[in-house]
Structure formats: structure tokens, C-alpha cells
Amino acid sequence: MSIPTRESIITQFRSTYGSPPSVVARAPGRVEFIGNHTDYNGGAVLGAAIDRYVWVAAATNPSGRLRLFSAGGQSVLELPADPGTRITGSDSWANYPLGVWRSLKDFGLRQPAGFDLFVESNLPAGAGLSSSAALELATALALLHLVDQADLPADRLAALGRHAENKYVGVPCGILDQGTSAFGRAGHLVHIDCRGPSFSRVPFPANAHLWIFNTREKHALIDGLYATRNKECLDAAKALGVAFLADLTPAQLPPLDKKLPPAQAKRAKHIIEEHARVHDTAEALQRGDLAMVGRLLTASHRSSQHLFENSTPALDQLVDLLEKHPAVLGARLTGGGFGGAVMALTKDSFTEKDAAGIARAYSAKHGREPEMIHLQAADGAKIET
């Protein structure tokens, strides 16, 4: 697929709706560098916005209807201004733009009365690379532009996207995805202290690379496993008498965990140690200690595998293969888990040929090749001018 451009999006918008859009916005996907499920537990996380995007073009629609079209789709989806219920079935992707539109009102912002929207993406959906947050943020920027409010600060933009996902899509996610997509910068990781939340940036090491190996296994947070983990963590925090699990240090947990059912005790141990690993990773990045960063990434995966239990045999096998490769610093599942992709941090010497070797060894066992992507840390959501 050729990479969409502002011009190609405008052309497609025009052929869909008969006139040009007023705005084209673009928001990146993200990798979760480290900090697995720490965000809604009051912890820290490091993410990177990536050079794969969702584009949204929009124009006001004077009839007050909401019209949506996704490139590659069959037909324009036309909705009344307030369909009332959540959309199910093949059109359920419409809950994201619709949720954003509704959230504008919840945030005291102006809403366009009606709009035409065109969506295109080169971000693999369901890989755990946050196509949902990218769609939310690109939609939010485009709709805000239509009502002259596109100067909304990045932290509000991220909060708006998260609100849409929590309230109107129904996933109790934290701020990682929307925060990283909003605050991304080329050559940088985004550090989020999710309690505030507060956002900062850490330079991505010049001599390291990000690779994604997408298992193409189904990864759908809305299916309920994500919500189950979320509830286990919040219940554990309550039983331990803290607001968030990240309030505890690894040294404080051992006597307390006897108060928890075994599954919750494992989830709590993962979150508390993972929060500490994010801190250690940020420090190791600052010192330029890439070997330590790599070890922390792989340790994070093993904790997801054995304690948080949100990995799969396919993800584990990819990490096993990558861990043995001399040019791989570390590897871990990225995002919600239960399918999706593994992220690897590699040395300069890791080549396409090495990636293909990993893919071959993986497919010998799983029967299908993973999708491989060499990614760059990219800029955050913006209006395309």
C-alpha cells in the first residue's frame, strides 16, 4: 500500500462526498515501550509514538447528519446526530468517532452539528499498536478544527480521547495510548506519570532500533479480558488499603499479599515491580546503558507471561527467539496483551535478514509468518497543513 498523503486523502474525501474537506488531521499509533498495565494503576509508563498513522479528513455537514467512511469500506455510514446506543457488528468502529463527538460536549467544548468524515490508516488494526487511540485523536483534532478549537492543549486532547474510549466504546483503558499519541516526538520516548497525569520526553537511544513482530492473533480489548485484569487490580488495591497498586514498593508487598486471592496477588506483584522497572528503564536510558534497558524489557515480558498472565504461546515464542539473538537487546509484548505484537529493541547490527530469520523460525511452529515492521519514534497528533 502506498503511504497516504494529505493530497491523496483530500482526493478520496472529494470522491466520497463530492466536495473537499476543511481539514485533514493525522495521529500516530504507539508502542508501549515498558509499563504493562501500569497506567490505570497510578504507575508510570514509557511509550513511543510511531511512524504509522490514522488520517481523518472532515467537513461540516449542514444537514446535521453524521456521515462516516473508512477507506476500503463498502459504503458511507449515515447516522442520526445521536444514535443513542452503542453500534454493534461490522460498523462498530463508528463508536470511536461518535464517542469523540459526544465527548466534546462532556468536556464543555463546541460540537459541529453535523459532519462528514473520511478515515484512512496504515496502522495494523488489532496488533496492540493503538489504532483506536490514533482514530480518537485524529477525529478529535479534525472536529475541533471545524469549530475553531484546534488549539486544545495536548493533555486535554489525550484526556478527551481516553474519555471517549472509557465512556462510549466501553474499554476501561488508562492514558498510555492517547497520551503517547498526543505527546509523541520524533526520536523520543514519552514518559507518563499516570497519576497526574504528567508527560515528559526522553531521547530514544541513537544506536538502537524498534521492531514489531505482529502475531496477527486476535487482540480485542473490548472482549473483556482487559476489563477483567483492570478489575482484579482495582480490587487488589482496595484490599491492600491503597488508592492505587503503584502506591506500594516491591519491598512493601510480601506480607500484604497474603490478604489477596492468589490471582490478585500475582497481578499486584506484576504492577508494583513493573512500575519500578519503568523507573529503572528511564534511568538506564539516561546513562546510555542499553544492555540494562534490554534486560528490563525482557523481564517485563516474563512478568506479563507468568504474573499478569496476559501473554500467549505465540508472543512467548517470539520473545524466546528474539532473546537468543545476539543483536537483540530485549523483547516484550506491547500493549494490552492476549494477542497482538512483540516489540524488540535491537542493536544497529540487526538487519531485515535477521528479522526474516526470526519470522521463519516462528512460522515453522505456528504455520504463518508474523508481520514485521521496523519503526521510528515519530511526532504526535497534528493537523496536516
Please give the positions annotated as active site: 177
Q: Can you tell me which of 36, 61, 214, 215 binds ligand GLA, judged by CB under 6 A?
A: 36
Min. distance of Cβ 39 from ligand GLA in angstroms?
5
Asked if 197 interacts with ligand GLA (CB under 6 A), we say: no
Nearer to ligand GLA, 13 or 308 (CB): 308
Reading the block at residue 124, the C-alpha cell is 495494523
C-alpha cell belonging to residue 205: 537511544
The single residue among 9, 28, 32, 49 that binds ligand GLA, judged by CB under 6 A, is 32
H or E stretch at 344: strand 341-347
Tell me the three cell numbers of residue 211: 521492531
- Could you give the angle at which helices 131-146 and 154-163 cross, rounded to 10 degrees? 120
- Cβ(233)–Cβ(39) under 8 Å? no
Please classify residue 362 by burial: count the beta carbons closer than 10 Å to its beta carbon, then call 0-12 exposed, 13-18 middle and 19+ buried: buried
* Nearer Cβ to ligand GLA (58/315): 315
Residue closer to ligand GLA (CB basis): 325 or 332: 332
Q: Does 174 bind ligand GLA (CB under 6 A)?
A: yes
Peptide bond into 97 cis (omega under 30): no
Site mask, ligand GLA, residues 318-347, x = CB under 6 A?
A: -----------------xx-----------
We find the least distance from the C-beta atom of residue 124 to ligand GLA, in angstroms, to be 14
177 binds ligand GLA (CB under 6 A): yes
DSSP-assigned letters across all residues of 78-108: EE-S---SPP-GGGGGGHHHHHHHHHHHHTT
Report if residue 214 touches ligand GLA, rule: CB under 6 A. no
Stretch that binds ligand GLA, among 149-157, 172-180, 240-248, 360-368 (CB under 6 A): 172-180
Which residue, chain included where needed, has cell 483534532?
Answer: 141
**Residue 226: Cβ within 10 Å count:** 22
Does position 232 interact with ligand GLA (CB under 6 A)? The reply is: no
> Nearer to ligand GLA by C-beta: 176 or 210?
176
Query: By the 8 A CB rule, do 327 and 347 touch?
Result: yes
Q: How far from chain centre, in Å, is Cα 146? A: 26
Which residue's CB atom is positioned nearest to ligand GLA?
173
| Residue closer to ligand GLA, measured from CB, 27 or 58 | 27
Single out the residue of 218, 200, 180, 205 nearest to residue 337, CA to CA: 218
Q: Which of 176, 182, 236, 318 binds ligand GLA (CB under 6 A)?
A: 176
Q: Which residues bind ligand GLA (CB under 6 A)?
A: 32, 36-37, 39-40, 173-174, 176-177, 335-336
